[in-house]
Amino acid sequence: MKKDTGFYGIVQEYFETRILYGFYVYGDRLPSIQKLCVIFAMAPATIRSALGQLEKQGYIKVDARKGSEVIYQASPAKFRENAARYFGVRREGIADLFQSAELLFEPLWETRIIMSNGLAQNLYWEVIRYLRFPYLMDIEKQRVICENLKKRSVSDIIAYLRNEFESAYRPAAEEILTFIEEACKEYPLDEEEPIPFWWSIYRQRPQIRYTLVSDIIRDVIRGRYPQGSYLPSLPRLADQYQVSVNTIRRALDILEGLGVASSLQGKGTLVRKEPGEINMEKTEIQEGMRLFQDSMELLEATIRTISVYTLKAAGGRKRERLAERLERLEREKTSYVCFEAYLSFIEEECPSGVIRECYSKLRELLAWGYPFAVIRARKRGLHEEFREVIKQMAAFLRQDKIEEFADTWERLIQHEEIQKRS
């Protein structure tokens, strides 16, 4: 698992990048804590944590009276090597991010989701942290621009972003990629493992526990743990999911709060046939539900463009196999597995590794909506909720009607989001 540095990691990485690449040199002083609080919109304690980490790493010396002084010393050649070693192993990921920006990020600005959706904002910052070269730009200027953008219309925002991308970010990316090509000739980077983009959706949260809840719910949906059956023992679950018994206990407690399972003394944990009451007072469930709702908004904004892109790249034979898979769900009366099935298809077949990573995380978060779907479908059953739309989408694939298939998915997610909000 990746090490999590919390919100202060943004500040830490910003200055680490500028120090390692020579934008700050030995003897320079960083802005005051008060000024950094304004620039990063963070509390003094968060800024102090970041500065403390930088001091531990040997980059700065913190002085309560004089401020923070850069003590890292390097030659121009060393600064160049530092940059080469960071960007060289991320070459493919950086190129992929810029190629996928139109499909993944532009819709988030067009719908203004990025202004209010915590998960979208998290994704934005994770991308910045991976790219790092935006840290080399004037962050105060960027902060003022972002504040001004909030007051503009959507069309003005999109026009500005497109212009900024063409005039600043694209040239910067091309410059970085050119630098990487040159650096690979100077430094032995060929044997280094490439580092792809990785999206941490649980920053400052117990990731293993949340992921485990999603995994077990998805196994219930797929029929691995049928309703009315007992889950394996705690040691067996711990071995199966490669986590500690303690983590299993905490995950089962969340599942019980979601009404998916019940712990029966002396018997084990029962997968409920009828959903129990959802305990919305539990902090973990509130957070899981918020992330689920945010994930639905991200899917609604991006599913159409990404569907068209992925299906066209996949080719006719793979589209046919997807149609067969949807038809099998209809025959087996498990059409409610359609979200899992289709997002898995995108995760497997989309040419963009960044989109595959993002959609794998969204697929994980969607599992938290399962209890609501079961409650909603008590009368008709989960299969009946999705049967007709699955048949329609399979037919569109058979007829090579990619646009119509993508439109149908967009409408389905819009419908589901409305249902979850009601």
Give the tens place of pLDDT for each residue, 8-31.
788 898 899 999 999 899 999 999
Q: For the range 37-45, what are the long-range contacts, defined as Cβ-Cβ under 8 Å and sequence gap of 24 or more?
A: 39/139, 39/140, 39/143, 40/10, 40/11, 40/139, 41/143, 42/7, 42/8, 42/11
Q: Is the pLDDT of residue 165 over 90?
A: no
Residue 300: band (very low, low, confident or very high) from pLDDT cuts 50, 70, 90: very high
**What topology is assigned to 286-421 in CATH?**
Four Helix Bundle (Hemerythrin (Met), subunit A) (1.20.120)
Asked whether 405 and 396 are in contact (CB, 8 A), the reply is yes
Over residues 287-291, mean pLDDT: 88
CATH 1.10.10.10 maps onto the chain at 1-74, 207-271
pLDDT number for residue 1:
31
Least confident residue range of 27-36, 265-274, 399-408: 265-274
Q: Is the pLDDT of residue 73 over 70?
A: yes
Alpha helices by DSSP H, listed for 315-352, are: 316-331, 338-349
Burial class (CB in 10 A: 0-12, 13-18, 19+), 104: buried
Tokens coding 334: 């498990």
Mean pLDDT of the chain: 85
pLDDT number for residue 3:
41
**Looking at the domain that runs over 1-74, which CATH code has it been given?**
1.10.10.10
Residue 149: band (very low, low, confident or very high) from pLDDT cuts 50, 70, 90: low
Instruction: Specify the DSSP class assigned to residue 60.
Output: E
CATH 1.20.120 maps onto the chain at 286-421
Which residue, 377, 273, 376, 389, is CA-closest to 339?
Answer: 389
Over residues 132-140, mean pLDDT: 70
Residues 6 or more apart whose CB falls under 8 angstroms from that of 247 comprise: 208, 209, 212, 238
pLDDT number for residue 2:
39
Q: What percent of the chain has pLDDT over 70?
A: 86
Residues 6 or more apart whose CB falls under 8 angstroms from that of 152 comprise: 160
Looking at mean pLDDT, say which of 84-88, 147-151, 249-253 comes out highest: 249-253
pLDDT number for residue 155:
67
- Reported as a single tens digit per residue, the pLDDT across 197-242 is 999 887 554 578 888 999 999 898 888 898 899 999 999 999 998 8
Nearest-angstrom CA–CA distance, 126 and 335 = 34
Place of tokens 């991006």: 302
Instruction: Specify the DSSP class assigned to residue 63.
Output: E
pLDDT number for residue 374:
72
Least confident residue range of 15-24, 49-58, 144-153, 366-375: 144-153
- Four-residue CA torsion sign, 118, 120, 123, 125: negative
Least confident residue range of 37-41, 49-53, 153-157, 383-387: 153-157
Asked whether 331 and 407 are in contact (CB, 8 A), the reply is no
Q: Is the pLDDT of residue 284 over 50?
A: yes
Q: Is the pTM of this model over 0.75?
A: yes
Phi-psi domain of 258 (left: phi exceeds 0; alpha: psi -120 through 50; beta: other): alpha
Asked whether 420 and 369 are in contact (CB, 8 A), the reply is yes
Asked whether 288 and 279 are in contact (CB, 8 A), the reply is no
Nearest-angstrom CA–CA distance, 410 and 313 = 19
**What topology is assigned to 207-271 in CATH?**
Arc Repressor Mutant, subunit A (1.10.10)
